[in-house]
Structure 1
Amino acid sequence: MNFTQLNYSYFQTDTRKKLNLFVFLFPATLWLIFFFIFPLSIVLVYSFLERGTYGGVSWILTVENYQRLVNPIYWTVFFRSLYLAFLTTFACLLVGYPLAFFIATRPPQWRNIFLLLTIIPFWTNFLVRIYAWIVLLRSEGVINIIIQSLGISNEPLELLFNSFAVSVGLIYGYLPFMILPLYSTIEKFNFSLIEASHDLGANDWRTFTRIVLPLTYRGIVAGSLLVFIPAVGEFVTPDILGGAKTLMMGNLVQSQFLAARNWPFGSVLSIVMMAIVLLPIIIYFRVSEEK
């Protein structure tokens, strides 16, 4: 086989690989275009239009919708959403990491049982589970009855329709999303490194911070993203457990589209929320590239 034939054969192989790659990627690309890029483009266009007389949009270009963002009321809601999302992520990490570590270090038969217990809440509708917290947190609820029966407080505590109730609901709802990625990472961890660290004189804390934590950071970041991103845009939990006292960005977007029927300003709020959500994703990819 001469050089020309070899080059032609390589060209055919390379073309075939590119064609196969195109065939495999075409459905996903089509899906992204129609169900992500196209809807996002509509939202972006709507954000520069005026509100119609009876709702919807009027095809008149304006930047007034973005100027409304200087109102401190909206920034209060933004910061509250970020605060609750960070609090939820931190609390889920604080609870989920040791729990995932515990599950990953059990015998295989026990791991499956604990994982099943972790995902059992998903078998019940999310709304039903959130409404169940009303029974637990209300003035005549289970928690207040236990507190009063133990003599901790003579009066029922205000546990419902405030930021505390919203935080509890968010942590409860998104805790499995933190446990599962952490478990997946910790399960692959080489535990002989811990023994080697102890043999070299490191204590438990130094071993954890210098070996275990750096080698499981991918699970930490993945779990944090899976919790933080939906928590920022949450609207069901604050609507049910927070009442009208604890608005989050999701509630604000919902009210603009459904109640106020101000689609242009609702689109602006959606874009701001997406920008906030994209920030931790960009940080994650930057960290992954550095590692």
Structure 2
Amino acid sequence: MSRQRLKNGASELQAINRRRDIHRKTIPALAQAGPVSVWMVLFVTIPMLYIIYVSFMSRGVFGDVVYEFSLESYQTLLDSTYFKVIVKSLQVALFTTVACLLLGYPFAYYIARKPPEVASRLIMLIMIPFWTNSLMRLNSWLLLFQT
């Protein structure tokens, strides 16, 4: 009888340790992913769902949204003028995607094969245009809102 109790106690202890391990692993992961997930839901998912909802509504005389179901917006997509613009946009998107893949993957492979000191400098060279873009955008906002 005592051996059975020892086995039950050991199995209960193993179950408790498994639960502790799960908690030890999931809580830090939730702490990292939680704020980002909330941010994405609030500022990406909900606005996109609202845009989709409004796209099925009709327009008023002055361009405002009238909350009556309509497929009129989607029927205008089939108009030849809009259709040409959509096709041209998709062509440009396809071209830039292929160009980025053809340039990006070989360069990423090149960086990955370098020692960490050299790789960090090469990544810095990639980041400089993004920083310049952010700086110029901030400067333009400042110029725009000056009195």
Of 82, 94, 101 in structure 2, the residue corresponding to residue 86 of structure 1 is 94
If you compute each CA radius of gyration, which structure gives the higher value, 1 or 2?
2
Q: Which residue of 1 aligns with 2:38?
A: 30
Pairing of 1:222-261 with structure 2 (within 5 A): none
With over 3 angstroms needed to count, the CA separation of the structure-2 counterparts of 1:16 and 1:29, relative to structure 1, is: farther
Measure how far apart 1:49 and its partner are: 0.9
Distance 1:27 1:58 in 2: 35
For residues 3-33 of structure 1, give each alpha carbon's deviation from its aligned partner in whole angstroms, at most 9, with x where no partner exists.
3773486268538836973781543443333
With over 3 angstroms needed to count, the CA separation of the structure-2 counterparts of 1:10 and 1:28, relative to structure 1, is: farther
Question: Which sections of structure 2, spanning at least 5 residues, go unmatched?
Answer: 1-5, 138-147
Q: Secondary structure at the match of 1:70?
A: coil
Q: Secondary structure at the match of 2:61?
A: coil
Pairing of 1:110-125 with structure 2 (within 5 A): 110-125=118-133
The RMSD of aligned alpha carbons is: 3.6
Q: TM-score, normalised by structure 2?
A: 0.62
Measure how far apart 1:81 and its partner are: 1.3
Query: Residue 48 in 1 paired to residue 56 in 2?
Result: yes
Of 99, 103, 108 in structure 2, the residue corresponding to residue 95 of structure 1 is 103
Distance 1:21 1:100 in 2: 32
With over 3 angstroms needed to count, the CA separation of the structure-2 counterparts of 1:41 and 1:110, relative to structure 1, is: closer
Q: Which residue of 1 aligns with 2:142?
A: none
With over 3 angstroms needed to count, the CA separation of the structure-2 counterparts of 1:9 and 1:112, relative to structure 1, is: closer
- Once structures 1 and 2 are overlaid, which stretch shifts more, 15-24 or 113-122? 15-24
Distance 1:100 1:27 in 2: 30
Bigger share in helix:
2
For residues 199-227 of structure 1, give each alpha carbon's deviation from its aligned partner in whole angstroms, at most 9, with x where no partner exists.
xxxxxxxxxxxxxxxxxxxxxxxxxxxxx
Query: Residue 21 in 1 paired to residue 21 in 2?
Result: no
Q: Which residue of 2 aligns with 1:201?
A: none
Distance 2:34 2:74 in 1: 36
Distance 1:98 1:75 in 2: 35
Distance 1:106 1:58 in 2: 59
- Once structures 1 and 2 are overlaid, which stretch shifts more, 106-115 or 7-16? 7-16
Q: Percent of aligned pairs with the same residue?
A: 33
The structure, 1 or 2, with the larger RCO (C-alpha pairs under 8 Å, 6+ apart) is: 1
Q: Which residue of 1 aligns with 2:47?
A: 39
Distance 1:93 1:2 in 2: 58
**Count of residues in correspondence between the two structures:** 129
Measure how far apart 1:50 and its partner are: 1.2
Distance 1:5 1:22 in 2: 26
Q: Secondary structure at the match of 2:77?
A: helix
Q: Secondary structure at the match of 1:125?
A: helix
Question: Which sections of structure 1, spanning at least 5 residues, go unmatched?
Answer: 130-291
Q: TM-score, normalised by structure 1?
A: 0.36
